[in-house]
């Protein structure tokens, strides 16, 4: 990269939460730059940077900042819990704040730093009626008419949660894309398989729509916790063991709260030529 590219290119951060990895672009103070083509190009782990989701930070008149999420196939996501935690940690450090507000396609959310340093994000109330999830027709969301008797939960994006005796034994790579594209889900769906390990602890694996198998999914952890609680398997608090570590969910009166590890891995600059080629 030429020295001039450092000043004219597009800065980005690479972050992850429990192995769920993100490219983060801070567009505050300037026009949002992301397009479907650029997001898809950046999501290529060989020819771009690679990510599970891309998060673009934007200005907001309603909150401290806004967030827009993109999947690696160039489609947009309505919610991304782990990216929200990572970006909230970054913004909090920059502002010297312990509490911040943000706006996503889901609406207004709030993040708080706990005494142990972890960032908790309120992901909002779960969407439990068939039109909001959304589903293609009115069915019992607690017992979908699909193999495995799954639960549908909306967390700003749709989730289809399955409970199995052993989540490790599930053919996630084979079942994930089939369920993602089932006609019951007009906007496709994220797919979770979970098993109860002990009281208050679940093992969860996830197939994310537009991305595939990921090491963790924050909104998926929230949806799985809600589904397990509604099925009477757990209380409102749960630890979820995911492929990339552990996430913790607490379904409170004011919403579903999520926390877990965050990491800022490196910063980089996209060259002007790369951006121009993929806009």
Could you give the C-alpha distances from 261 to 1, 15, 86, 131, in angstroms and in order?
32, 11, 9, 33
Classify residue 22 as exposed, middle or buried by CB count within 10 Å of its CB (0-12, 13-18, 19+): buried
**Which residues form the catalytic set?**
80, 217
Strands 99-104, 65-71: pairing kind: parallel
Helix (H) or strand (E) holding 100: strand 99-104
Q: What's the CA gap between 210 and 100, in Å, rounded?
A: 29
In three state form, how does the secondary structure of 193-207 look?
EEEEEECCEEEEEEE
Q: What's the CA gap between 72 and 63, in Å, rounded?
A: 27
Q: What's the CA gap between 21 and 216, in Å, rounded?
A: 9
Q: What's the CA gap between 44 and 94, in Å, rounded?
A: 30
């Amino acid at each position: 990269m030429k020295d001039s590219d450092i000043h004219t290119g597009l800065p980005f951060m690479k972050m992850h939460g429990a192995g769920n990895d993100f490219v983060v672009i801070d567009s505050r103070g300037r026009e949002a730059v992301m397009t479907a083509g650029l997001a898809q190009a950046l999501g290529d782990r060989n020819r771009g940077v690679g990510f599970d989701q891309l998060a673009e930070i934007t200005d907001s008149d309603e909150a401290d900042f806004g967030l827009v999420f993109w999947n690696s196939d160039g489609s947009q996501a309505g919610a991304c819990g782990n990216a929200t935690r990572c970006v909230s940690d970054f913004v909090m450090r920059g502002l010297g704040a312990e509490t911040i507000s943000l706006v996503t396609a889901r609406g207004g959310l709030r993040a708080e730093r706990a005494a142990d340093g972890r960032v908790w994000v309120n992901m909002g109330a779960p969407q439990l009626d068939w039109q909001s999830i959304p589903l293609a027709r009115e069915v019992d969301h607690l017992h979908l008419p699909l193999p495995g008797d799954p639960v549908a939960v909306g967390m700003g994006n749709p989730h289809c949660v399955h409970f199995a005796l052993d989540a490790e034994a599930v053919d996630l790579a084979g079942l994930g894309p089939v369920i993602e594209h089932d006609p019951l889900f007009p906007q496709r769906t994220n797919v979770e398989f979970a098993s109860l390990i002990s009281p208050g602890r679940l093992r969860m694996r996830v197939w994310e729509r537009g991305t595939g198998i990921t090491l963790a999914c924050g909104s998926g952890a929230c949806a799985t916790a809600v589904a397990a609680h509604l099925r009477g398997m757990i209380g409102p608090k749960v630890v979820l063991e995911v492929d990339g570590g552990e996430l913790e969910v607490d379904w409170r009166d004011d919403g579903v709260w999520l926390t877990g590890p965050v990491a800022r891995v490196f910063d980089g600059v996209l060259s002007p030529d790369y951006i121009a080629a993929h806009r």
